[in-house]
Structure 1
Amino acid sequence: MPQLSSDCLNDILEYLEDDMITLHSCLLVNRLWCEVSVRIFWRNSLNYRDSNLRTLIACLPTESKEILSKNRIIISTQTSKLPIFNYASFCKVLSIRKVQYILKQILRYQQSILFGNLKNNTYILSQELFKLFFNQIGSLKKLDLCLYSNINFNFYPETKDCLKNLPELQWLTDLISAQKNLKHLSIKCNYADDVLEDILSSLTNPNKISKLIYNESFKDFKKLQYAFFLKLQILKIERACPKYELLIKFLENNGKNLRECYISDRNHDSVNSLSLAITKFCPNLKKLFIGNVEYTLITL
Structure 2
Amino acid sequence: MPKTLPPEIIRTIVLYLKNDKKSLYSCLLVSRDWCRGMVDLLWRQPFHLLYTCNKINSSTCKCSEKKRRSQAANLLTTYYSIKYNDELVKEGIVKTKGGNVINVMFNYLEFLSILDLRDLYFAIQDWTQWNKTRRSPLLKFLNRKFTSLTFNCNMFKYFFINSPKLKLLSFDTEFTLHQINNNNHCSYLIEENSENNNWEYYNILNDLLSIINESETKQFFANLTELVFTAEERKTKILSSLSRVCHNIQKLIIKVKFTVFIDNYGTALVRETNNTLEEAKQLVSLIRSQHNLVYFELFDTHEEGTSEILKSLKETQQNSLKTLILNNLFISDNNTILFHLKSLQNLQELGFNKFIYQQKGKLVHCWEDLWLPNLRYLELDHIDEHKEYSEELSSILRECSPLLNKVKN
Name which of 162, 172, 178 aligns with 2:220: 162
- Give 1:53-132 correspondences, 5 Å limit: 53-60=73-80, 61-62=83-84, 81-108=102-129, 110-111=131-132, 124-132=150-158
- SS at structure 1 position matched to 2:115: strand
Question: How large is the RMSD of aligned CA atoms in angstroms?
Answer: 3.7
- Give 1:1-300 correspondences, 5 Å limit: 1-44=2-45, 45-48=47-50, 50=69, 51-60=71-80, 61-62=83-84, 81-108=102-129, 110-111=131-132, 124-145=150-171, 148=202, 149=204, 150-151=206-207, 152-154=210-212, 157-171=215-229, 173=239, 174-190=241-257, 192-193=275-276, 194-203=278-287, 206=290, 208-218=292-302, 220-221=304-305, 222-227=307-312, 228=314, 229-230=317-318, 231-243=320-332, 244-254=334-344, 256-263=345-352, 264-267=354-357, 273=363, 277=367, 280-293=370-383, 298=395, 299-300=398-399
Structure 1 residues 139, 161: CA separation in 2 closer, same or farther (over 3 Å shift)? farther
Does the Cα contact within 8 Å between 2:348 and 2:375 map onto a contact in 1? yes
The Cα of 1:144 is off from its aligned counterpart by 0.5
The Cα of 1:154 is off from its aligned counterpart by 4.3
In 1, Cα distance between equivalents of 2:371 and 2:378: 13
In 2, Cα distance between equivalents of 1:128 and 1:139: 19
- SS at structure 2 position matched to 1:164: helix
In 2, Cα distance between equivalents of 1:90 and 1:259: 31
Does the Cα contact within 8 Å between 1:188 and 1:218 map onto a contact in 2? no
The Cα of 1:20 is off from its aligned counterpart by 1.7
The Cα of 1:131 is off from its aligned counterpart by 3.1
TM-score between the two structures when normalised by the length of structure 2:
0.58
Does the Cα contact within 8 Å between 2:72 and 2:126 map onto a contact in 1? no
Does the Cα contact within 8 Å between 1:56 and 1:88 map onto a contact in 2? no
Identity of aligned residues (%): 21
Q: What is the number of residues matched between the two proteins?
A: 281
Select between 6-15 and 98-107 the one with higher mean Cα deviation.
6-15
The Cα of 1:96 is off from its aligned counterpart by 0.7
- SS at structure 1 position matched to 2:325: strand
Which residue identity is paired with 1:267?
Answer: Y
Structure 1 residues 57, 265: CA separation in 2 closer, same or farther (over 3 Å shift)? same
Structure 1 residues 137, 53: CA separation in 2 closer, same or farther (over 3 Å shift)? farther
- SS at structure 1 position matched to 2:224: coil
In 2, Cα distance between equivalents of 1:142 and 1:30: 31
Give unmatched runs, 5+ long, in structure 1: 70-74, 113-120
TM-score between the two structures when normalised by the length of structure 1:
0.76
- SS at structure 2 position matched to 1:17: coil
Structure 1 residues 124, 8: CA separation in 2 closer, same or farther (over 3 Å shift)? farther
Does the Cα contact within 8 Å between 1:144 and 1:169 map onto a contact in 2? yes
Structure 1 residues 76, 62: CA separation in 2 closer, same or farther (over 3 Å shift)? closer
Structure 1 residues 156, 12: CA separation in 2 closer, same or farther (over 3 Å shift)? farther
Give unmatched runs, 5+ long, in structure 2: 52-68, 134-142, 144-148, 173-200, 230-237, 258-271, 385-389, 400-409
Does the Cα contact within 8 Å between 2:212 and 2:242 map onto a contact in 1? no
In 2, Cα distance between equivalents of 1:272 and 1:11: 53
